[in-house]
Amino acid sequence: MSNGNAYITASCVIRDQQVFSNGSLLWQDAPGAELTDFLRKGYDRFSGQYPKFHKMDALSKLGWLAAEILLRTAPVEDHLPEQVAIVLSNRSASLDTDLRYYNTVKDIPSPALFVYTLANIVIGEICIRHGFKGEHIFFTTGGFDAQQVKAYTQILLDTGVATACLCGWVEVMEQQYEAVLYLVERQQREGGKPFAAEEMRNIYDLRF
């Protein structure tokens, strides 16, 4: 595979009631905080002013919040909206919401829940928020496959389809959740790391 230069210029990791930005702990909620409450507090702290957030399912809220934090200081506006791509993956697709929706079917099925019974809606929410119009794709795999996400993102950059890409892993199943997002760009920026599967693993494991 061709291997043009690219850099991880920002990252965000959310798990265990903790939020890490570029490797540093940015904020943490009380251990054991319930996911919905944790996400709401995260929204109040890092965003606000986006009432549509409250309508989202947990997967979209988590991915949306991670993107919000990832892009807080990242100069993503340097890129054309058509050239910002998103490559996400997870294990459970939208199963968490599928089951919630399924529980409403015996009463009155909820249209607002059904809308979120697709894994890639989280990408749609991020695109709506930031106006990104580039390519996007969602893989389902047994666990975080840094190599696969890296390979696909690299192709998008190498073929000129995108000049920047948000990529990573966003998983929710009941109270188990995890989001790891990377901003990958062609140009190096201060603190950026080479875009390699090994570096992605390091960030995932919070080894900085």
Partner 1 sequence: MADLKAQIIEQLNLQEVKPEDIGNDQPLFKEGLGLDSIDALELIVLLQQHYGIRIANPEQGPEIFQSVRTMATYITAQQKQPG
Partner 2 sequence: MSEPVWIAGGGVICGIGATLPACVEAFSRMQPGMEEVQYLHTVHRGVFPVAEVKADNATLAAQAGMPAHISRTALLSKIAAQEAWDSTGLGDLLQYRVGFISANTVGGMDKTEDFFADYLQHPNKGHLQQVVHHECGSVTELVADAMGIRHQVATISTACSSGANALMYGARLIRNNIVDIVIAGGTDALTRFTLNGFNTLMILDQQPCRPFDDTRTGLNLGEGAGYVVLVSDVIRKHLPNAPWCRLSGYANTSDAYHQTASSPDGIGNYLAMKGALDMSGLQPKDIAYINLHGTGTQNNDSSEGKAIERLFAPDYPAVSSTKSFTGHTLGASGGIEAVFSALAVQQGIIYPNARFATPMKEWPVAPATVFSSGNKLSHVMSNSFGFAGNCSSLVFSKE
User: Which residue ranges make up the site for partner 2 (CB under 8 A)?
Assistant: 1-2, 81-82, 86, 91-93, 95, 98, 101-102, 105-106, 109-111, 114-121, 123-125, 127-128, 131-142, 148, 151-152, 155, 159, 161
- Spatial separation of the C-alpha atoms in residues 73 and 205, rounded to whole Å: 22
How many alpha carbons lie under 13 Å from residue 7 in its C-beta half-sphere?
A: 11
From the list partner 2, partner 1, none, pick the one residue 36 interacts with, judged by a Cβ distance below 5 to 8 Å according to partner type: none
* 138 within 8 A of 89, measured Cβ to Cβ: yes
Between 141 and 175, whose beta carbon lies closer to partner 2?
141
Min. distance of Cβ 186 from partner 2 in angstroms?
18
Min. distance of Cβ 48 from partner 2 in angstroms?
21
CA distances from 189 to 51, 62, 71, 180 (A): 33, 26, 14, 20
- Spatial separation of the C-alpha atoms in residues 60 and 122, rounded to whole Å: 4
Min. distance of Cβ 146 from partner 2 in angstroms?
14
* 119 within 8 A of 140, measured Cβ to Cβ: yes
From the list partner 1, partner 2, none, pick the one residue 51 interacts with, judged by a Cβ distance below 5 to 8 Å according to partner type: partner 1
Min. distance of Cβ 111 from partner 2 in angstroms?
4
